[in-house]
Amino acid sequence: MSAALIWLVGLLFLRRIYTPWLLTAALALLIGLDRELSLRKVGHQLLHTLPFLTLMALTLSISDGLPPSREALLFAGLLCSRVVTAVLIILALTGGKQTEDFIRTLAALPIPPTYLSLLFLTNRYVQLLIREFRQQNMALRARMFTPKANPAALKNVGFVVGGMFIRGYDRSERVYEAMQARCYNGVIPYEEAHPPTVLDGWKLAIAVLVMGSILFLERRGGL
């Protein structure tokens, strides 16, 4: 996590468009060599940022007016390159871990336990909501429901969404009563993350060395 934070901060000081892409290529190589990560899955998740990147590139390119100036195009390209690399860093950090493991590692940071408990609960009920949504979708498909923009179809969708809302409200009441019965004090007990090892220290040192070398070479004109 420290290495990812250092790289994210270092991206803010890069001045050339191609430098973030060199980091992106290095990250893609490391992800491809890591058995816990799937390069195809990371690439698929990276595609979700494409609409945002397209909109950002278009708006920044015409920030100085039409026709687009060279400075505006270079700035748009640099910013988009930084975003792509930053997203890849986050995906490399979280892609090989379960969400609970990632939240547990945040305990090493000076974060109040109450906030960590909220993250655990949010992750739990987001997963529960996704599961219920899939079940409702399967039930609608089993009944040959076809989504259409007509009053009858929208009425059926409204019934489904309303039923999910009512069940969710009832579930929240039951969960609250159960937590009160268990003397919940706002903090969820969780297993402490494993302490850093010597290998983790070497990885952090290499990450700092790589980013520092790139920044130095870029300032000296070597890149």
Give tens-digit pLDDT for 12-49.
787 787 788 878 887 777 777 666 666 777 777 777 77
Residues 128 and 176 in one domain: yes
* Integer Cα distance of 179 and 172 in angstroms: 10
Count Cβ atoms below 10 Å from residue 82 Cβ, excluding itself.
18
Contact yes or no for 27/90 (Cβ under 8 A)? no
6 plus 80 within the same structural domain: yes
Confidence band, pLDDT 50/70/90 cuts, at residue 96? low
Residue 42 CA, chain-centre distance (Å), reads 11
- Which residues are within 8 A (CB) of 2 and not within 5 positions of it... i.e. 6 or more apart? 204
Is residue 192 in some structural domain? Answer: no
For residue 220, name the pLDDT band (cuts at 50, 70, 90). Answer: confident
Of the CA atoms within 13 Å of residue 123, those in its CB half-sphere come to: 14
Task: Convert the pLDDT of each residue in 125-177 to its tens digit.
Answer: 777 888 888 888 888 788 777 777 778 777 877 888 888 888 888 888 888 88
In the three-class reduction of DSSP (H, G, I as helix; E, B as strand; rest coil), residue 169 is classed as helix
- The pLDDT value given to residue 94: 67
Per-residue model confidence (pLDDT) at position 109: 66
Confidence of residue 53 (pLDDT cuts 50, 70, 90): confident
Q: What is the pLDDT of residue 143?
A: 79
84 and 14 in a common domain? yes
Instruction: Identify the weakest region by mean pLDDT among 7-16, 128-137, 213-222.
Output: 213-222
90 part of a folded domain:
yes
Is residue 29 included in any domain, yes or no? Answer: yes
State the Cα–Cα distance between residues 220 and 223, nearest whole angstrom: 8
87 and 112, same domain (yes or no): no
Residues 128 and 45 in one domain: no
**DSSP string covering 86-117, please?**
HHHHHHHHHTTS-HHHHHHHGGGSS--HHHHH
Same domain, 92 and 111: no
Please tell me whether residues 79 and 135 are part of one structural domain: no
Does residue 204 surpass a pLDDT of 80? no
Q: How many domains is the chain built from? A: 2
**Inside any domain, residue 199:** no
Separation in Å, CA 218 to CA 68, 159, 209: 26, 59, 14
Q: Kindly state whether residues 113 and 141 are assigned to the same domain.
A: yes
Do residues 82 and 116 both lie within one domain?
no
Question: Is residue 193, in this structure, part of any structural domain at all?
Answer: no
Per the listing, tokens 């996704």 go with: 130
pLDDT band at 200 (very low <50, low <70, confident <90, very high): low
Are 20 and 91 within one domain?
yes
> How far apart are alpha carbons 42 and 200 in whole angstroms?
23
- Residue 124's pLDDT is what? 79
| In a domain? residue 200 | no
Answer whether residue 217 shows pLDDT above 80.
no
- For the segment 63-95, what is each residue's pLDDT rounded down to a tens digit? 777 787 888 888 888 888 888 888 887 777 666
Structural domain span for residue 165: 106-181
CA distance 192 to 172: 28
**204 located within any domain:** no
* Residue pointed to by tokens 């489904």: 160
CB 31 within 8 A of CB 37: yes
Nearest of 93, 105, 42 to residue 207 by alpha carbon: 93
